[in-house]
Amino acid sequence: MRKQELLDRISLDPSIMAGQPCIRGTRLTVHHILNVLAFGTAVEELLDEYDGLTRDDIAACLLFASETLVNTSFAPLTTSAV
């Protein structure tokens, strides 16, 4: 699947989930999908949990996050003495 086809699976609509990026046609936010993956939920579990969710939808979330980070600057994280 081409890059743009994946990105087209993500929608931003101010009237849905307060404008957070979502998988098109759902209320599943990119943040939610990435968060559950980060905490160890397997892709298969997600696919079983959400009817209609596809591997391409999950790939779209990952690509969207990647593309979003490309133009973001980060300051080094520091720990402060307590």
Q: Supply the DSSP string of 16-59, one letter for each residue.
A: SGGG--EETTSS-BHHHHHHHHHTT--HHHHHHHSTT--HHHHH
* Average of per-residue pLDDT across 45-63: 97
Mean predicted confidence (pLDDT) in 10-26: 96
Average pLDDT over residues 47-54: 96
CA pair distance 19, 17, nearest whole angstrom: 5
CATH 1.10.10.10 fits 3-70, yes or no: yes
pLDDT, mean over the chain: 93
60 or 71, higher pLDDT: 60
Name the region of 19 (left: φ>0; alpha: ψ -120 to 50; beta: rest): left
Asked if residue 1 lies in contact with residue 57, where contact means CB atoms within 8 angstroms, the answer is no
Residue that the structure tokens 């979502």 belong to: 22
Pair 29, 21: CB distance under 8 Å? yes
